[in-house]
Structures are given as structure tokens and as C-alpha cells.
Amino acid sequence: MGYDKELYREVALEYEEIRRHDRQDLEERRAKVFAMVPELEEIEDEIRGAGLRIIKLAATEGGDRTERVYMLRDRQKALLVKRKALLLENGFSEDELSMRYLCEKCEDTGIFEDRDCECFRRRLITKAFENSNLSMQLRDQSFKTMNLELYSREIDPETGVSPYDCMVNIVGICNRFVQNFDSETKNLLFWGAPGLGKTFLSTCVAKELIKSGHSVIYETAYRIFSMLEDFKFRRTNDIEKLRAQTERLYECDLLILDDLGTEFSTGYTNAALFDILNARLIANKKTILSTNLDMEELAKKYSDRVFSRIFGHYRALRFIGEDIRMKKSVN
Ligand SMILES: [Zn+2]
């Protein structure tokens, strides 16, 4: 469980860049101030000199040491007051010659009280979203914004339940899947006609899990299959990048494979799909599959081996009703 090491590395590199920028920003401000008020450069040098002498004295033994430290401190204080006055007189702000951080708490180190600073956690989450491939518009969606009223309360003759009750049940299962994610043993298989909220709901699950520090990858089956083929036939300028992307399909905490069944599959892609899903089962990593096909069509499309080995470990949730995208545009 937890974000990829790679993600930590990427964010840590960003923080190095931020600190480099902080230092450069200070240098630029100093140069500007000193050009306008040369006296301030002398004062700065003296403040630093006094500071160094205090440190040196503290490390040596001697009779009048304490008194000299007090004197230096007083001198330093006087210089700081003078510096502030000169800055303000010349239209600068009083911190013009100090470091300015994006996060005062960790001073842009990303670490606060020996732990990841809040700012670092936030950046990890944002980055995890970027890496998850979840579409921007769906990132604003959540269980809370889901409108169940779009689903009819009329009993569906085929299943004997209303689309509304069906969705209430599915949303409940998805919520529990999120709550118990680390101990969950079953995966989820969303199936049913298009436009019933399958992608929406998998995004809601993804969002909650990313926020609680899990790595999530969202891909359409079409994209995964072309990725696997590109990898096999080396159809890329950056094989290492493609290798890393492929590995993430195996390693992420949750893989959402959307639109299963729409891809053009071959013996090779089917075997590769089996390999990914099977490896994830063995490693007890969770997967959400989503498809517009029904169980019979799925069984026909994929080999018996895939079907019996894989789908038995999935909790199949059927979405029923009318396309709610149509209702949204009417309302
Ligand atoms: Zn911070």
C-alpha cells in the first residue's frame, strides 16, 4: 500500500527546485536592494560577522567570554533595527533581505517535525491525481455530488428491482470497498449498458483512495491494450517510460480498467490481460473492471481460462436503467 516510490522521488525533486528558486529569489532581491542602498550591504555583512563571532566565542573558553557575547548580541540587535528602518525608508518591506518560503512551516524542505509536511502530502495527492489519468472533469465528482434521483424508482421487469434501489445498493458496496480497502478480498466488476454511471462511480472510488494515500491508475482497456502492444513491438521512442507505465499496471494499489470489451483483442493482448489481472490477484491488489458487455458476451470474448480464473474473484455489480446522461441534458 502507499504511493509509488517514483512519486515520492518526483515530488522531492520538485521541492529541490522550489528551494533553488527560493535562494535565487533572495539573491535577486538582495542585489536590487544593495544597488539602491549600498549602506544596507555593509550592515548585512556586519550582522553576519557578529553572528559568526558569537558562534566562535561560544565554542571557546575564557573569562570575559559571556560579556563579549552580550556585547555582540546588543550590537547585532541595533543593526537589525537599523536595517529594518533603512528598508522601510526606501520603500522595501522589512523581510526584503530574508528568505521567503512557499511553506513557512517546513521552509520548503517538505519535512516538519520529522514527518512529511502537510504541503508535501498535498503535493503528493495532486501528483497522484495527475499520474492516475483520471479526467479533469471527473476529478470534481464525488459520492456526495452523485445524484441518485436521476435513477428511476420504477421496478425493472427483468431484474425485479428499480434502478434507484439498484444504485443505492451499488453505492453502498462501493463505499464499503473504500472504507475496508486494505482488508478487502473481492474486486469489483461493473457491468451494464453505457451511461448508467459506471465510470463516474469508479472515479469516486479512485478519488477517495488517492486521498487516503493509495496509488490508483485509471486506464481504458483500449489504452492498456495498445500500450501492451507498443511495448511488445517496441513502438516507442522511450522504451523505459513505457516499461515504467506497464509496470505500474501491476504495482498500483487500485487499477481501474474501464470499457473492457471495446478493445480489439488478439491472442497476445488476451494473454497479457490475463497476466496483469492474475498477477494482481496473487499480490492481493485490487482491480475494478467496467464493461458494457454482459456476462455471456464477456465469456465469449475472453478465453475460458481468463473467465473462470479471473471473474470468480470479482463481485459483479449490474447497472440497470436508462442512460442518465440523456436525463442530465434534459433537466
Ligand atoms: Zn510545508
Domains (range + CATH), the chain? 19-103 (no CATH), 133-330 (3.40.50.300)
pLDDT given for residue 178 in this prediction: 96
Distance (angstroms) between ligand 1 centre and the Cα of 104 equals 7
Where is mean pLDDT largest: 32-36, 208-212, 217-221? 32-36
d(CA 273, CA 267): 10
**C-alpha 108 – ligand 1 centre gap (Å):** 6
Distance (Å) of CA 135 to CA 102, 174, 237, 260, 272? 28, 20, 25, 18, 25
Residue 34 — pLDDT band, cuts 50, 70, 90?
A: very high
Other C-beta atoms lying within 10 Å of the C-beta of residue 23: 11
Give the pLDDT mean for 315-329: 83
Question: Which pLDDT does position 144 carry in this prediction?
Answer: 85
Beta strands across the sheet bearing 286-291? 216-220, 254-260, 286-291, 187-192, 314-319
Q: Give me the mean pLDDT over the 51-68 stretch.
A: 79
Q: What is the pLDDT of residues 66-92, one digit of tens each?
A: 788 888 889 999 999 999 999 999 999
Dist. CA 115 → ligand 1 center (Å): 10
Q: How many Å lie between the centroid of ligand 1 and the Cα of residue 262?
A: 44
* pLDDT score for 114: 93
- The rounded Å distance from CA 13 to ligand 1 centre is 15
Please tell me the distance between residue 116's alpha carbon and the centre of ligand 1 in angstroms: 8
What is the arithmetic mean of pLDDT over 90-95?
93
Residue-level pLDDT at 37: 94
pLDDT at 330: 44
25 touches 134 (CB < 8 A): no
Instruction: Tell me, in angstroms, the distance from the centre of ligand 1 to residue 81's CA.
Output: 29
User: Which three three-digit cell numbers place residue 148?
Assistant: 441518485
- What confidence tens digit (pLDDT) does each residue in 121-146 have? 889 888 888 888 886 666 677 888 88
Hey, how many other C-beta atoms are within 10 angstroms of the C-beta on 166? 21
Cα 215 to middle of ligand 1, angstroms:
22
Predicted confidence (pLDDT) at residue 244 exceeds the cutoff of 90: no
Per residue, the 3-state secondary structure of 202-268, as one string, reads: HHHHHHHHHHCCCCEEEEEHHHHHHHHHHHHCCCCCCHHHHHHHHHHHHHCCEEEEEEECCCCCCHH
| 126 CA distance to ligand 1 middle (Å) | 15
Asked if 222 contacts 262 with a C-beta cutoff of 8 angstroms, the reply is yes
Task: State the distance from the centre of ligand 1 to the C-alpha of 217, rounded, in angstroms.
Answer: 27
Q: Quote the ligand 1 centre to 113 CA distance (angstroms).
A: 10
Contact between 191 and 201 under an 8 Å Cβ cutoff? The reply is no
In sequence order, what are the beta bridge partners of 257? 219, 289
* Cα(254) to centroid(ligand 1), Å: 28
Tens digits of residue pLDDT in 263-318: 777 788 788 888 899 999 999 999 999 999 988 888 888 777 777 777 889 999 99
Cα 180 to averaged position of ligand 1 atoms, centre (Å): 30
289's enclosing H/E stretch is: strand 286-291
> pLDDT-derived band of residue 2, with 50, 70 and 90 as boundaries?
low
Taking residues 196-216, report their average pLDDT. 90
pLDDT at 68: 83
Given a cut of 80, whether residue 186 has pLDDT beyond it is yes
How far, in Å, from the CA of 101 to the mean position of ligand 1?
Answer: 9
Q: What is the pTM of this model?
A: 0.74
Kindly give the distance from the C-alpha atom of residue 112 to the centroid of ligand 1, in angstroms, as a whole number: 7
pLDDT band of residue 331 (cuts 50, 70, 90) is very low
What average pLDDT does the structure give for the chain? 88
CA of 95 to the centre of ligand 1 (A): 19
112: which strand partners? 115
